[in-house]
Structures are given as C-alpha cells and as structure tokens.
Amino acid sequence: MSEFIEFSESLRGRSGSCLSRVARGLAIAAVVGAGAGMMSAQSNFMTASASESAPAYSSSAAESTEALVVAPLPDFSKMIVGAGGGHAQSNGRPGYRPNGTNEDDSFKWTAYGGAGLTVPVANTSDYLTPNFSIQVGVGPRFSRHLSLPVEFDWDQFGFTKGALDNQIAIYDYLFSDYSVKYLLDGNSHIWSFSLEPTWTFHSDGMFVPYVKAGVGFYHKTANFTLPTRQFVCYYYCGIYYGTYNFDFYTSNAPGFDVGAGGTFKFSDDTHARLYVEARYVFIANSARSGIVNTPESLATVTDTTTNFYPANSNHTFYFPITFGIRF
C-alpha cells in the first residue's frame, strides 16, 4: 500500500512537470501567433493604403516615369519670346520675332503706292487745272511710330482756257499760223523725289492716323502741243494722227510738303492697309523774265527771245489727294 502511494505521488510529480511544460509551450505559441497576426494585419493595412493613394502601375511604366524625371523636357516658355527682347507681343500673345522686325514688333521697312487727284491752289490755279497724281514710296521704319521713306510723285495738270488763250495770242503775234491759233493745246506735270519723315500715332485698331512732312527735288514741265498727221508704213501703211511738242519749258527747284492721312485695316491675315492722304506742296521756283500777252511785252520780242511762258517759273502750290495701299 505504501508502495502504491509512493508510485502515485511519483506519477503525480511527473504529470505536473509535463503539464507545466505543455502550458509554457502553449503560451509561447500564443505569443508568436499573436505577433504574426499583428504583423500580417499591419502589412495588409499598408498595402491597402498604398492601393488607395496611387494607381497601380507596372514595373515598365515605373521605369519610363523614372526616366522622364531623370531627363526633364526643356522649358519651351523661355524659348518663345516676343519682339521686345523676350516680352509678349502687343496683342498679348507670345511669338517669335523675325530679323525683319523692330523691338516693338513693327516691320523694319515700309512701302506704299497709290494714285488720286491733284488740285492747284493759290496763284497756280490761274494757269493750271486739276488732274491725276501717282505716288510710290519705300524706306526704313525705326518703330511703329517713326518711318523715313523716300517718295516719288508724279502730278499731272492741264492748262486753263485763259493760259492757252494767252499763249495763242503770243504765238499768233509771232507766227500768224492757223493751226497755232485754233488747235493749240498742252499739259503740265511735276515729278519729284522727296524724303518724307512720317509719324504714326498708334499701330492697333482699324483706323491709324499719321502725319508727314518732306523736302525734295521738284522738276516742273510745261508742254504746248499741236496735232500732227503723218503717213506711216510699218506693217500697214496709213495716216496716223498724234501730237507733237510745239513749245516746252522746264524748271527745277527745291520743294516742301506737309500732310496727314490714315490707314484702314481690311484683313487680319495681311499687313497691308488701305490709306488716304492729303498734302500741301510748295515749290520754290526761281522767277524768270519772259514775254507775256501785253503790247509792251510783245514789242520787246527779238530773235534771241526764248521764254514765252514765264509762268512755268512761278512759285507753285498744289494739293494732292492720294488713295492706295501701304505696308
């Protein structure tokens, strides 16, 4: 009996030791399992957060994006400049300024051409009548306001009836010729080259006003003509009628002009503008002595007398009005 009791106590001690070992093992396993669960939960949370904050992308897309970041594109906004040394154009849009423009985007050259009416004024209207005019000009433009063109003008005139009657009386006194007495006609013209500084008040909008003033060389000519009839054989033979200069006079002098005008924009796709311009012209001709239609003057005619139209050397005043296209 005592031996059974000792065996029982020995077995109880061993089973208690085994139970304690099992308990410790279960505790360790529980701790390890709890830690693994927490780590797994944290990993899932981070993955979910990353998935919500950024779209999924492949490794190749990531490599391409990384390459773009490493080698960024140039800043094209710094390469596009306006005409004012990097400033925007006057219309607010950036653009490239070519070599042919100034700092304010205006072209470095101006050109224009037109035609119109020319009207003699002051004492010039006593012997000349209105007729047509032609104008062309070209020159540098320093800004949208200032240009300095060289201009060529041709102004055509007719003679008043009083001027022709005076010439007929003089020629009839000299020649007593029927054709001169009844068929005399004529015309006068002035051509000139002048330097025309021009100031434009502004360069935007449909209408742009400007003023100008010039100085130049003026050549004035008077031609008195008679009809002619000729028998001519070229391809065909026949009688041809025309005119010839019976008498003519010239006068060279400096001239001055002032004027104003305006341009009208007719298309957004072109730099050409319609223009209208009016000028007042004065030519400082040098007076020359000559024969006029008075008995006293006609009595002084000699074989060496050559000037039968001294009015061509009078100071000249006229008013050209021109319409055309300006660039």
Instruction: Please tell me the pTM assigned to this model.
Output: 0.68
Q: DSSP readout, 227-238?
A: EEEEEEESSSEE
Alpha-carbon distance of 198 to 261, in angstroms, equals 10
Whose CA is closest to 257, among 284, 238, 234?
A: 284
What DSSP state is assigned to residue 78? Answer: G
pLDDT on residue 216? 98
Pure H helices in the chain: 2-53, 59-70, 161-175, 178-183, 295-298
Residue type, 173: Y
Over range 136-158, report the average pLDDT.
Answer: 96
How many CA atoms, within 13 angstroms, populate the side-chain half-sphere of residue 231?
0
**pLDDT tens digits, one per residue of 201-254:** 976 778 999 999 999 999 999 999 998 877 677 677 777 677 888 999 999 999
How high is the mean pLDDT of the chain? 79
Residue type, 98: P
Alpha-carbon distance of 278 to 211, in angstroms, equals 10
CA 35 to each of CA 22, 29, 40, 48, 212: distance values in angstroms, whole numbers, following the listed order: 20, 10, 9, 20, 96
**pLDDT tens digits, one per residue of 256-312:** 999 999 999 877 777 889 999 999 999 999 999 999 999 999 999 998 999 999 999
Alpha-carbon distance of 278 to 323, in angstroms, equals 9
pLDDT band with cut points at 50, 70 and 90 for residue 84 = very low
Check pLDDT > 50 for residue 78.
Answer: no
Which residues, other chains included, contact 62 with Cβ-Cβ below 8 Å and sequence gap of 6+? none
CA 243 to each of CA 120, 168, 187: distance values in angstroms, whole numbers, following the listed order: 25, 17, 12
Q: Which two tokens stand for residue 111?
A: 């050109």
Q: Is 324 exposed, middle or buried, given 0-12, 13-18 or 19+ CB atoms closer than 10 A?
A: buried
Maximum mean pLDDT: which of 11-25, 221-235, 306-320? 306-320
